[in-house]
Amino acid sequence: MAAAAAAALGAEEPELCLELLPTDPLLLIFSFLDYQDLVSCSCVSRRLNQLSNHDPLWRRHCKKYWLLSEAEKTQKNKSWKTLFKDTYIDLGRYIQHYATLKKAWDDLERYLGQRCPRMIGSLKDSVEECELDAVEAQIGCKLPNDYRCSFRIHNGQKLVVPGLMGSMALSNHYRSEDLLDIDTAAGGFQQRQGLKQCLPLTFCIHTGLSQYMALESVEGRNKYEIFYQCPDQMARNPSAIDMFITGWRGNLRAKAVLSTVPDTHSASYSEWFTSYVHNVVTGGYPIIRDQIFRYVHDKGCVATTGDITVSVSTSFLPELSSVHPPHYFFTYRIRIEMSKDALPEKTCQLDSRYWRITNAKGEIEEVQGPGVVGEFPILSPGRVYEYTSCTTFSTTSGYMEGHYTFHLLYYKDRIFNVAIPRFHMVCPTFKVSTTPRETSHDDCSVIEEDEEEDSTDSDDYEGPRLVNYSPAPSHCPRHT
C-alpha cells in the first residue's frame, strides 16, 4: 500500500498542452489573438491550423484593419479569411495606417457630402502601388508609408477653388489650399537650398503658398516634419527660409521655439491629416459659403451681457507673417447674437468699439472707433451679426478684449456696453533657417526698428502684404 502511494507520488503529471483543450475554450482564446498570432498558430499543428482558419475569427480583423463591412463581404461573396488575405496582399504594408486614414477620409466625405457636395466632386480616385514607386524613383526619396497609404484611398484633389485643406478671406487677400495629387506634388519636389528634399502637400493658386513635408533630416528640419515656408525678410540670402511648423506627432499647437531647441517628436502625415479632418467634421472649423474656414474657437471665449452674446474665433495667417522681422498676423471672426427670447424693445444698434490689446511683453495698446468694419449693425431678437477683422503683433502671442457700445432704438438716450471676451492668439511653433543669412549691419538696424512695431487694430485698410515679396508694414488690412 505504501509502495503504491510512493509510486503514485513519483509519477510525472502529463504536460499541459494547448492542443488538449476542448474546441470552444480554444476558439475563445484565439478570439483575443492578433492576425499575426493566428498565422503563427496555424503552423503549429493540423488541429490548430483548422481552428485558426475558423472564419468568424477573421471577421474582427477585417473590420479592425480594413474597415470591411458585412455588406461588402456579401457583395464580394468571400469568406472573412479570404477577404483579409486579399486585402493584405494589396495593402499589407499600410496595415498600421489604413484604418485610421480610411476612417478620416470616410468621415470627411460624409460630412462634406451634406454641406459642400461641390468639394467632394474635386477628389481624385486612388492610385496603384506602381505609381507611388515611380514617384519615389523620380524624386530619389522614399515616401512615408502613411503618406502613401492616403493616396491608396484618394489621390488628393484637382486644383480647384475651394480647396479641401481650408480657406481664409480678408478684404484684399484670399487663400484656399488644395490637397495635391501625387504627380503634382512630385513635380513640386524641391532640391534647391533652403527647401532641399521637401515635398509640397498643399498648394494655393492665389498666393503660391504650400505646406511642405521634409523627406530627409536636412537644413535643420526633422524627417517628415510638415511646415509653411517663410522666407527671412532680413537676409540677403534668398535660401534663408524660416518655417512655421504645422505637423509633427504629439504637439501641433506648441509655443514658438528656436531651431536650437532639439525636437524629439516624430513627424506624422497621418496625424496632420486626421487632426485637420477632426476639426472639420466636429464643427471646429466653420463652413461658410461652401468653404472650410480654418478658424479656431475656444469654447470658453464667450461673453454674455444681458440678451447679447459675443463669441470669437481666431486664425494665424502664415503667408502674411514673418519671423525676421517679427511680424505675426492674426485674423479673428466675431459673432454677435441677440437672444430670440429678448423683448422687441431691446432692439439696438452698435455705435462704437473699444479694444485693449496686450502683446507677450505686457505692452498695452488701446484702440477705439465708430462701428465695426465700417458698419453699424442693428440687433433684434434672434438676429446674428458676424464680421472678420485682423491684427498684428511683433511678439509671438498676444490677446485682445474690450467692449461694444450700443444704444436702444426705441430709447435712443439709453446707451450700454457689451463685453467682448478676452481671446488669445498664439503663433505656431517655428524654426529659424540654418542657412547663413549674410545680413549686413544696415539690415540689423532695420530689425531693431521693426521690433518696435506693436499690435494694432483699426478698420483703416492699408493694403495686403505677402511676406515672400515685400517688407512688413506696420499695419494690416482691417475689414472683410
- Dist CA 26 CA 256 (whole Å): 55
Domain regions of the chain by residue span: 22-94, 98-254+266-282, 295-431
pLDDT tens figures, 149-180: 999 999 999 999 999 999 999 888 999 999 99
The answer to whether residues 400 and 367 touch, using CB atoms and an 8 Å cutoff, is no
Cα gap 6→15, rounded to integer Å = 20
Kind and range of the H or E element at 213? strand 211-214
Range 58-78 average pLDDT:
95
Ranking 252-256, 313-317, 393-397 by mean pLDDT, the lowest is: 252-256
Q: What pLDDT does residue 235 have?
A: 84
Mean pLDDT, the chain, whole residue set: 86
Nearest CA-CA partner of 322 in 421, 392, 407, 265: 392
pLDDT of residue 163: 95
| 414 CB burial (10 A radius; 0-12, 13-18, 19+) | exposed
Q: Give the integer Cα–Cα distance in Å for 97 and 146.
A: 6
Given this model, what pLDDT does residue 396 score?
A: 96
Cβ neighbours for 179, distance < 8 A, ≥ 6 positions apart:
156, 157, 163, 164, 165, 201, 202
Query: Which pLDDT belongs to residue 233?
Result: 86
Do 154 and 105 touch, CB atoms closer than 8 A?
yes
Least confidently predicted of 15-19, 204-208, 230-234, 269-273: 15-19
Q: What is the pLDDT of residue 238?
A: 85
Q: Give me the pLDDT at residue 19, please.
A: 78
Percent of the chain with pLDDT over 70: 84
Higher pLDDT, 63 or 21: 63
3-state secondary structure of 325: coil
pLDDT above 60 (res 102): yes
> What is the per-residue pLDDT for 475?
39
- What is the per-residue pLDDT across 87-101, written as a single tens digit (0 to 9) for each? 999 999 999 999 999
Question: How do residues 122-148 score in pLDDT, each as one tens digit?
Answer: 999 999 999 999 999 999 999 999 999
Banded pLDDT at 256 (limits 50, 70, 90): very low
pLDDT of residue 234: 87
pLDDT digits (tens, 9 = 90+) for 412-445: 889 999 999 999 999 999 999 888 777 544 443 3
DSSP string, 240-301: -EEEEEEE-TT-SSPPP--TTS---PPP-HHHHHHHHHHHHHTTSS-EETTEEB--EEEEEE
